[in-house]
Amino acid sequence: MPPASALSGWTLISLRPRHRHDAVRRAAAAQGARVLAISPYALLALDPGTSLESALRCPIRIASSPAAVAFASAQTPLHGNWLAIGEATAKALRNAGADTVQSTEPQNAEGLLALPILSDCRDRHIGLITAPDGRGELERVLPERGAHLHIAHVYRRQPLKLPVSVHRRLQALAQNTAVLVSSRAAFAELWRQLDASERANISRTLCIVSSVRLLEYLQGLGIQQVRCAAGTRPAMMLAALHQAIAANECEG
């Protein structure tokens, strides 16, 4: 484990939803880093109607995030066998009453889609608990593989206007700053609200992403320094940051 001062002097930009930065703050504080919490959106409950019942009746059930578990379990108990994107989602499912939960490495949609049970989905009914405009890879790939996909949208993302204080901070980013990106929707909403100079600053800032798809997305926007972590957990993203720092020091 890195020493407590391993990231001393670093500022980590967290793009988690409103009121959901605590895990990043704990991980950063343990290594001496500061956190600039920027929430491009808040999470709000949706009424899924009968779609949640339909998804839960499927023999294969997938939860896309801890938030999906929280909002679904607030409406009905979650029993049975589940697949989870990431260990945090798996933990949330176990706490909600799931009988068995399987997650994967890497802890993202690509890792889940590599499971043998999802390799051939012809005529299989699969329930997906998620949000609109969430992890589109599952919604795209599973039907292509022949699955009958039953989607329950149990929450939604409400965009939030960035405060003036955030714009000021983004106009004067320090050198030892890294952006932690675990959601395309979050980064896209941030990017939409930035002016040209703020975008230029972000484009020169080290970004740690949680999947190859996010890496490709940021590179397509012109982000110059992007490194891929093994998953969305803060510890994984900080591990990728350490590797990026070490590689830069070696190059220097």
Q: Which fold has domain 43-157?
A: Rossmann fold (3.40.50)
Q: What's the CA gap between 91 and 85, in Å, rounded? A: 11
Domain 11-40+160-190+200-212+230-251 identical in fold to domain 43-157: yes
Instruction: Please give the pLDDT value at position 86.
Output: 86
pLDDT digits (tens, 9 = 90+) for 135-146: 578 999 999 999
Tell me the one-letter amino acid at 53. E
How many other β-carbons are positioned within 10 Å of the β-carbon of residue 224?
A: 12
Q: Minimal CA–CA distance to 226: which of 187, 178, 169?
A: 178
Task: Give pLDDT, residue 195.
Answer: 97
pLDDT in the model for residue 107: 78
The candidate with the shortest Cα–Cα distance to 127, out of 172, 84, 90, 181, is 84
pTM of the model: 0.87
pLDDT of residue 3: 66
Which pLDDT tens digit goes with each residue over 37-57? 999 999 999 999 999 999 999
Q: What's the pLDDT score for residue 252? A: 46
How do the domains of the chain map onto residue ranges?
Answer: 11-40+160-190+200-212+230-251, 43-157
Return the SS3 of 252.
Answer: coil
User: Who contacts 3 (Cβ-Cβ below 8 Å, separation ≥6)?
Assistant: 31
pLDDT of residue 5: 75
Low-confidence ranges of the chain (pLDDT < 70): 1-4, 134-135, 249-252
Closest CA to 71 of 108, 20, 117, 105: 20
Q: Does domain 11-40+160-190+200-212+230-251 have CATH number 3.40.50?
A: yes
Largest CA distance in the chain: 58
